Chain A
Amino acid sequence: AQSVTQLDSQVPVFEEAPVELRCNYSSSVSVYLFWYVQYPNQGLQLLLKYLSGSTLVKGINGFEAEFNKSQTSFHLRKPSVHISDTAEYFCAAYFGNEKLTFGTGTRLTIIP
């Protein structure tokens, strides 16, 4: 079955430290991957997307992600986090149909 897995439900990080949020997928068909961010009491905002082409994708707010087909991963990274990055982050994928499948989310907490 096709699925998206975010193993870390919560990630605490000190301000200005680097962060990696992990996302793995399971699929036997072509996959199209996204990272969304949700700030408190708001909707989801697109951070970045991988549709095809270069496996290193740059997004907004200094985030980037790398598509790794052999490891079936699409991890999100930022070299130096700020307080304003405190939010919940969702990995999502299309598996060759209309429906977007979401992971369960990772809550990123920045420690001053």
Chain B
Amino acid sequence: NAGVTQTPKFQVLKTGQSMTLQCAQDMNHNSMYWYRQDPGMGLRLIYYSASEGTTDKGEVPNGYNVSRLNKREFSLRLESAAPSQTSVYFCASRPKLRTNYNQPQHFGDGTRLSIL
């Protein structure tokens, strides 16, 4: 099925370890996003990429880096994981239509990350 694919689905890390969360979309969307979801806080934007070759910080970027590898792929890297980064991470994408820029975002199923 077409959509947003995230890997891995689950991961357990030790404090200080690094890892990269992968995201790919096959809908030819221009914009891609990374969010974290924590209980009682909704979804908070970590980083986004409005188009291939550009990235910008969101609400909670500290401790993360991103790479927009090509139009399809947008990865999120934790260089030195901390327990405060235990969360569920969602990737999303959306088209940019000439008729209306405010199209909804499409979400992946998430990566559940625990840092011990």
Interface residues of A in 28-49 (CB under 8 A from B): 32, 34, 36, 42-46, 49
| B40–A94 touching, CB < 8 Å | no
**Size band of the B side of the interface?**
20 to 34
How many residues does chain A have at the interface if contact means C-beta atoms less than 8 Å apart? Answer: 21
Cα A32 to Cα B29 with chains together (Å):
19
Q: Which residue of A lies closest to B91 (CB)?
A: A43
Q: Measured between C-beta atoms, what is the minimum distance from B30 to chain A in Å?
A: 10
Cα A53 to Cα B105 with chains together (Å):
20
| B109–A42 touching, CB < 8 Å | yes
Q: Measured between C-beta atoms, what is the minimum distance from A50 to chain B in Å?
A: 10
Question: A32 with B110: in contact, given A9-B40, A104-B41 (CB under 8 Å)?
Answer: no
Give the segment of B14-22, B42-50, B70-78 that binds chain A: B42-50
Q: Measured between C-beta atoms, what is the minimum distance from B36 to chain A in Å?
A: 11
Q: Which residue of A lies closest to B48 (CB)?
A: A98
Cα A32 to Cα B103 with chains together (Å):
9
Cα A70 to Cα B100 with chains together (Å):
24
Cα A99 to Cα B92 with chains together (Å):
12
- Residues of A in contact with B (beta carbons under 8 Å apart): 9, 32, 34, 36, 42-46, 49, 51-52, 90, 94, 98-100, 102-105
